Structure 1
Amino acid sequence: MQAAKNVTLLQAVAFAGVFSAVSCWYGFMFGRESARRELGGIIEDLRSGSGSSTGSTASPESEAHPKP
């Protein structure tokens, strides 16, 4: 006899809910970190007096840590 493990509908829904909550949490945290970096660059541009930010300007983080 094979001992098949039966998963109830309630267990499947609970697992899906937990997985969804964890996925949303990680997405929120990574999105927040990305937005924080972007806003930090904009704030530094404003503080340095360069009111116009274009796509060709380097971010303060890339200036602080040049690539080798």
Structure 2
Amino acid sequence: MVKSREFHSQILKRGKKRGWHWIKGEGDGSHRIYEDKNGIRYPVPYHGAKEMGEGLRKKIIRDMELE
């Protein structure tokens, strides 16, 4: 399992190549909102040092087409 904050770092690195970026000012609660170059938005849970389940991590990667 990976910590939520580490996973978001991975999303930013992988997602940048595919046009995803974090929308600042939105998603300041328990989720961070990412938007792709076509305007599609995807909320991703953010809980800092808490670990994210492997199933959820794989679903997000698949949905955002990061692999």
TM-score, normalised by the number of residues in structure 1: 0.29
Q: Which has the higher contact order (CA 8 A, sep 6+)?
A: 2
Q: Which structure features the higher share of strand residues?
A: 2
TM-score, normalised by the number of residues in structure 2: 0.30
